[in-house]
Amino acid sequence: MREVKIGFLGMGNVGSGAYRILRDNADVITHREGIKYTVVSALVRDKSKSRGDIPQQLLTTEPDDILCNPDIEIVAEFLGGVEPARTYILRAFENGKTVVTANKVVLANCWPELEASARKHGVGLYYEASVAGGIPIIRTLYSSMQANRITKVMGIINGTTNYILSAMSSQGRSYSEVLAEAQRIGLAEADPTLDVEGLDAAYKLSLLASIAFHAKVPMKHVYHEGITAITKQDIAIGKEMGLTLKLLAIGKKEDGQIQVRVHPTFIPDSHPLAAISGATNAVYLDCDALGELVLSGQGAGSMPTGSAVVSDIVYASQQQKHAYNTFKNDDNIPEISFNTNWESEYFVSVMAPDKPGILAAVAGIFAANNVSIASMVQKRTGEERVPVIFLTHRCRELNMKRAIEGIGGVEGLSVSGTIRVEAMS
């Protein structure tokens, strides 16, 4: 029986999950695939760290034990970050090894360079675990969607922020309270910036949109805005209007232009993504032949992410000839144009004194900027200044920005929240 030897770069959350799956499910995997998979070595920083049932003799602090080991056919990388992951992946390719990675940061930053090197050395580069953890979205896009033109990819692809927004919505708690709880239970990092500022989702969207639209979408073109300014009041008022708040990663291809953006977004309660709660991830595709497709599941965690890594290892080991992207994987992409002045509906929350003429002033500013109001609610609080919430029809992003500046410039008025609303397709 053929045996495939694997070297791990990293033995943390993801590495240990992948290791345990290869060990505990060895019988079924070998039975199905006719191949035996053996992890022979794993690079770590600290060999003395306690790692439960992971055998100590596998661990090394010397990268060449993996990168220069002629027996190793596949290198699986889960170090995180750009360096030294980039250097090690390139060295693995030079030494004729295929690489499987869970690392969205190294891919989003160095994908063209990594792919060029893999092609040059005739080896594979696989990255199912880099987007949405255990959800098989990458292979679905490559292998099952060839018949379609994809016009929209929308995802809840950050579990931490979905957990925070879900708890704020269902329990009426504040952002800081729920963030502290997420940190306590080990879901959010001690420094949660990457997640809560939308960067983690932006890295993943850069990869997803590139594959969905067959065009490299560099990270620098992905707009991102986080959830730190979201209030429980905005969420509660949205709820009364039949809207659910999510941090959505949105990619659209319209009239030959691509828009890619990550920001808090209200969606109708009936939208397929509205019911995705807690740390669960989901990706929604809108395609011309298939129509709508939603994949949901665990977007992070040792075993779910390990599942995606192992599926890449098995897939890579079965390829006679590795396939690469069908698009020019280059950061210089003059033929594509990116639309940053996209159209959306908006939820705008204005704090205003409850006196004659105020509504007329706000409506006038919206009208002057070509923003049409769809509905309006004023909340009675008994305070001198009250929240007035406007839902608009579709308008351009730049027009909305000018309107917000205009409203903020009127004495006594302040805009406390501006949240985009994604209607059903």
Please tell me the distance from the alpha carbon of residue 179 to that of residue 78, in angstroms, as a whole number. Answer: 26
Judged by beta carbon, residue 160 or residue 265, the one nearer ligand HSE is: 160
**Which range, of 37-45, 90-98, 178-186, 239-247, touches ligand NAP by CB under 6 A?**
37-45
104 is catalytic: no
- Tell me how far apart the alpha carbons of residues 383 and 408 are, in angstroms, rounded to a whole number: 20
d(CA 312, CA 77): 12
Footprint of ligand HSE on residues 155-174 (CB under 6 A)?
158-160
In the complex with ligand NAP, the residue whose CB is nearer, 106 or 413, is: 106
Interaction of residue 311 with ligand NAP, rule CB under 6 A: no
Amino acid occupying residue 58: L
Among 6, 21, 41, 78, binds ligand NAP (CB under 6 A): 78
Which token pair is 16? 């240990």
Report what 160 binds from ligand HSE, ligand NAP, none; CB cut-off 5-8 Å by kind. ligand HSE
- The answer to the question of residue 297 lying near ligand NAP (CB under 6 A) is no
The tokens of 257 are what? Answer: 């232009």
Residues found in the chain: 425
Tokens representing 399 are 């027009």
Angstrom distances, CA of residue 402 to CA of 196, 374, 381, 388: 26, 18, 28, 19
- In the region spanning residues 118 to 147, those forming contacts with ligand HSE, defined by CB under 6 A, are none
Quick check: 178 binds ligand HSE (CB under 6 A)? no
Stretch that binds ligand NAP, among 97-105, 137-145, 319-327, 354-362 (CB under 6 A): 97-105
Choices 77-85, 205-213, 252-260, 361-369; region in contact with ligand NAP by CB under 6 A: 77-85
Which residues in the 261-320 window bind ligand HSE by CB under 6 A? 299-300
From candidates 6, 7, 10, 216, binder to ligand NAP by CB under 6 A: 10
Q: What are phi and psi of 319, to 5 degrees?
A: -80, 130
Does residue 387 belong to the site contacting ligand HSE (CB under 6 A)? Answer: no
Which of ligand HSE, ligand NAP, none lies near 134, with the C-beta cut-off 5 to 8 A by kind?
none
Sign of the torsion formed by the C-alpha atoms of 391, 395, 396 and 402: negative
3 state DSSP class of 53: coil
Task: By CB under 6 A, name the one of 102, 196, 207, 219 that touches ligand NAP.
Answer: 102
| Contact call for residue 44 and ligand NAP (CB under 6 A) | yes
Q: Is 43 in the site for ligand NAP (CB under 6 A)?
A: yes
Integer CA distances (angstroms), 187 to 11, 130, 232, in order: 19, 18, 21
Taking a C-beta distance cutoff of 8 angstroms, is the pair 298, 273 a contact? no
- CA–CA separation, 328 and 416 (whole Å): 43
What is the b/e burial string over 121-149, where b = at least 16 CB atoms within 10 angstroms of the residue's CB?
A: bebbbbbbbbbbbbbbbbebbeeebeebe
137 in contact with ligand NAP (CB under 6 A)? no
For residues 352 and 412, the answer to whether their CB atoms sit within 8 Å is yes
**Binds 264, which of ligand HSE, ligand NAP, none (CB < 5 to 8 A, cut-off by type)?**
none
Given 200, 225, 312, 422, the residue binding ligand HSE (CB under 6 A)? 200
Nearer of residues 99 and 102 to ligand HSE, judged by Cβ: 102
Which residue is catalytic, options 97, 104, 152, 204? Answer: 204
265: enclosing H helix or E strand:
strand 257-268
**379-386 long-range Cβ contacts below 8 angstroms, 24+ apart:** 379/237, 384/353, 384/354, 385/351, 385/352, 385/353, 385/354, 385/412, 386/351, 386/352, 386/353, 386/354
Minimum Å distance from CB 201 to ligand NAP?
Answer: 12
Q: Name the residues annotated as catalytic.
A: 204
The residues of the shown chain that bind ligand NAP, judged by CB under 6 A, are 10-15, 43-46, 49, 78-80, 84, 102-104, 129, 133, 300-301, 305
**Binding interface with ligand HSE (CB under 6 A):** 158-160, 195, 200, 299-300
